[in-house]
């Protein structure tokens, strides 16, 4: 009897320890990034592009990467939505009675979701070579769009499934066509669409491997789709490798900015999800 209890106590201790490690790792990471990045956070960091040449220039900030990230993540999310909303609607509202097929398609999107961004990057690079594009903002947007499509499709799919069938029946029984009914459903899930946008944007803004081959890198803010663009993760990756302290510091500051942006996005989407589900039930 004694031994049994001791064993349980021992494992319970291990469990608490494991929980502390898993939960604590978040604070450890964010803490490290804040500790290293905060000293380099200046107003110039947010408002100036880097000066004095790539990799060695000590002056300026990372406005190029901030704007570049917004362009890439924003462009990819918009393109992704244009493709994903019809797909999610089709899966849910136009495949009535073909449950096996629609579930198989859902699995394909799950699998697509699992494909690593480096493969999307390599494939995006292939597309660019095929069409004779140089590494540019457009190339980055295309690669990241491929990356976010499965995320958007599956998130929207889950959200549409929370809409009660009766609401669809109500619209249909007024004589709506399926498309008109779909518009009603889209109205009903507006908060869900915003959640999907946030999740996609958060994933898009943080990814490196997909933009590494495709977006190029530049100290300037891109003025057209065909110019190379920097993104925050790329700026972190490249600037950290520099031997010059100020450049490294820009890298740490970029890491801090990216972390804050991503945390805000994640928290917002979590809150929205909570509100959405509370509203539903």
Partner 1 sequence: MIGYVILSQSGQPINYYIQLMQRIRLLKDKIISKLMLLFTILSVSLVFIIGIGLYYKSIPVLQNSTWGHLLTSSVWKPLKGLFGFYPYIMGTLWVTGIAIIIALPLCVLTSLYIVEYAHSRVRRILMPFVNLLSGIPPVIFGVWGVLFIIPLIQDHIAPHFVEFSTGYSVLAGGIVLAVMIFPLIVSILNEVLRTMPQELKDASLALGATKWETIKKVILRKALPGIIAATVLAISRAFGETIAVLMVCGNNAVVPHSVFDAGYPLPALIANNYGDMMSIPLYDSALMFAALLLFIIILLFNIISRIILSRLERKMAA
Partner 2 sequence: MTKDKAHISVQDLNVHIGGNHILKDLNIDIPNKSVTSIIGPSGCGKTTLLKTFNRLHDTAADVKVTGKVLVDGEDIYDPNTEITHIRKKMGLLSQRPYPLPMSIYDNVAYGPRIHGTRKKQDLDIIVEKQLKATALWNEVKDRLHSSATRLSIGQQQRLCLARGLAVGPEIILGDESTSALDPVSTSIIEDLFVKLKQDYSIVLVTHILRQAARVSDYIIFVYDGRIVEYGKTEQVLRNPREELTKEYVKGYIV
Q: Which residues in 178-237 contact partner 1 (CB under 8 A)?
A: 178-180, 202, 205-209, 212-213, 233, 236-237
Separation CA 110–CA 113 (nearest Å) = 5
- Which residue, 189, 235, 191, is CA-closest to 212? 235
Footprint of partner 2 on residues 77-116 (CB under 8 A)?
A: 93, 96-99
Sign of the Cα pseudo-torsion (129, 133, 134, 138, in order) = negative
7, 8, 180, 270: which one binds partner 2 (CB under 8 A): 180
Considering the complex, what minimum distance in angstroms separates the CB of residue 269 from partner 2? 20
Q: What is the DSSP letter of 221?
A: P
Q: Crossing angle of helices 245-280/190-206, nearest 10°?
A: 160
Site for partner 1 in 58-87 (CB under 8 A): 83-84, 86-87
Give least dist CB 94 to partner 2, A.
10
Residue 86 · residue 218 · CB < 8 Å: no
Residue 84: name the closest of 181, 141, 150 by CA: 150
> Please, which of residues 86-105 interact with partner 1 by CB under 8 A?
86-87, 89-91, 94, 103, 105
> Which residue lies nearer to partner 1 by CB, 51 or 150?
150
The answer to whether 188 and 113 are in contact (CB under 8 A) is no
**Cβ pair 135, 216 in contact under 8 A:** yes
- Residue 126: contacted member of partner 2, partner 1, none (CB under 5 to 8 Å, by partner type): partner 1
Number of residues that bind partner 2 (CB under 8 A): 24
Least Cβ distance, residue 257 to partner 2 (angstroms): 37
56 binds, among partner 1, partner 2, none (CB under 5 to 8 A by kind): none
CB of 252 to partner 1, least distance (A): 7
Nearest to 117 by CA among 67, 65, 76, 159: 76
Interaction of residue 119 with partner 1, rule CB under 8 A: yes
Q: Which residue lies nearer to partner 2 by CB, 35 or 179?
A: 179
Residue 87 binding result from partner 2, partner 1, none, given CB thresholds of 5 to 8 Å by partner type = partner 1
Q: How far is the CB of 272 from partner 2 (least distance, A)?
A: 16
Inter-CA distances, 16 with 4, 11, 26, Å: 19, 9, 16
Task: For residues 273 and 84, give the distance between their C-alpha atoms in angstroms, rounded to a whole number.
Answer: 19
Positions that interact with partner 2 (CB under 8 A)? 93, 96-99, 164-177, 180, 184, 187-188, 190
């Amino acid at each position: 009897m004694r031994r049994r209890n001791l064993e349980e106590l021992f494992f319970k201790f291990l469990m608490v320890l494991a929980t502390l490690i898993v939960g604590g790792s978040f604070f450890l990471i964010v803490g490290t990034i804040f500790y290293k990045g905060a000293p380099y956070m200046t107003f110039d960091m947010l408002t100036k592009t880097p000066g004095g040449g790539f990799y060695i220039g000590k002056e300026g900030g990372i406005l190029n990467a901030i704007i570049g990230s917004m362009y890439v993540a924003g462009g990819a999310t918009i393109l992704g939505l244009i493709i994903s909303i019809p797909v999610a609607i089709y899966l849910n509202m136009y495949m009535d009675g073909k449950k096996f097929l629609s579930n198989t398609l859902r699995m394909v999107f799950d699998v697509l979701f699992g494909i690593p961004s480096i493969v999307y990057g390599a494939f995006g690079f292939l597309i660019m070579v095929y069409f004779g594009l140089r590494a540019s903002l457009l190339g980055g947007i295309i690669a990241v769009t491929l990356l976010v499509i499965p995320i958007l499709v599956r998130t929207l799919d889950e959200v549409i499934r929370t809409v009660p069938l009766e609401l669809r029946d109500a619209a249909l029984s007024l004589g709506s066509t399926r498309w008109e009914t779909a518009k009603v459903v889209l109205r009903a899930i507006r908060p869900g669409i915003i959640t999907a946008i946030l999740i996609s944007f958060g994933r898009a803004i943080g990814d490196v491997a997909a933009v590494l081959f495709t977006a190029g890198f530049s100290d300037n803010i891109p003025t057209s789709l065909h110019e190379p663009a920097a993104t925050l993760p790329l700026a972190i990756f490249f600037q950290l490798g520099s031997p010059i302290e100020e450049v490294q510091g820009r890298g740490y500051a970029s890491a801090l900015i990216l972390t804050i942006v991503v945390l805000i996005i994640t928290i917002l989407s979590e809150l929205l999800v909570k509100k959405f589900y509370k509203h539903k039930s």
